[in-house]
Amino acid sequence: MSILSLFKNNEIKLIDKRKEFSDKYSFSFESKSPLSWKAGQHGLFNFKGEKLNRGNSRMFSVASSPYEKIITIGTKIGENPSGFKAKLKSMEIGESIFLRGPFGGFFISNDNKSIAMIAGGIGITPMRAILKDLEYKDTKGKAKLFYVDSKREYVFKDELDKISNNNPKINIIYLKDRKDLEENILDYIKKHKNNSLYFISGNPNMVKEIRLKLKDNEIKRKNIINDSFRGYK
């Protein structure tokens, strides 16, 4: 991706929106112009020219793989959302929003290496993109997803199960709390140590705790890649 493309505002149109769970939604868009990105990256979504409570733009990870040729995002929208999320939720099919990017360093550069994917809540979005991409490319490396959600509201679960069932190199474990997550991660570390990459995606506190846990167990910084979700409001 060129530097200029990072600043270009691409118009994208809503083609599908779904209420996944009580406060979790997904939105899919088509772009008028070709977009290029790597699975796992994020973009800056904005309602150009709009004056909205708490700003007219938000950063979201892209939940779709490039080969799908659509842009999908997932987010939490509570009872008192920001002006941006309220407008996003009220969008009708065919209406437009603008996108800068996608960009960022949350992607796999060596898909022949084993990968541990640690996702909390709506942090599953970039992981879905990466898993879809691994499935499409039929890579040599193995991937193991640890997906934790205290409400057991596992977004994209049907798709994730289909990917796992059709690919013996991809394994998914659904977890209910942080204690279960840490136990599973420690077990994985004992088996793989620094022969694996560790991708972490979730709220900032979770990401920080998992990073520290990995470092305490002598996982090298170069093998830890994280994506913190800050735009909950």
Residue 232 pLDDT class (50, 70, 90 cuts): very low
- According to CATH, the topology of domain 3-103 is Elongation Factor Tu (Ef-tu); domain 3 (2.40.30)
From 17-26, 135-144, 165-174, the region with the lowest mean pLDDT: 135-144
**Whether domain 114-228 has CATH 3.40.50.80:** yes
* H and E: helices and strands count for the chain: 6, 11
Q: Which residue has the higher pLDDT, 3 or 168?
A: 168
Q: Is the confidence at residue 139, as pLDDT, over 80? A: no
Find the mean pLDDT for residues 105-118: 90
Domain locations in the chain as residue ranges: 3-103, 114-228
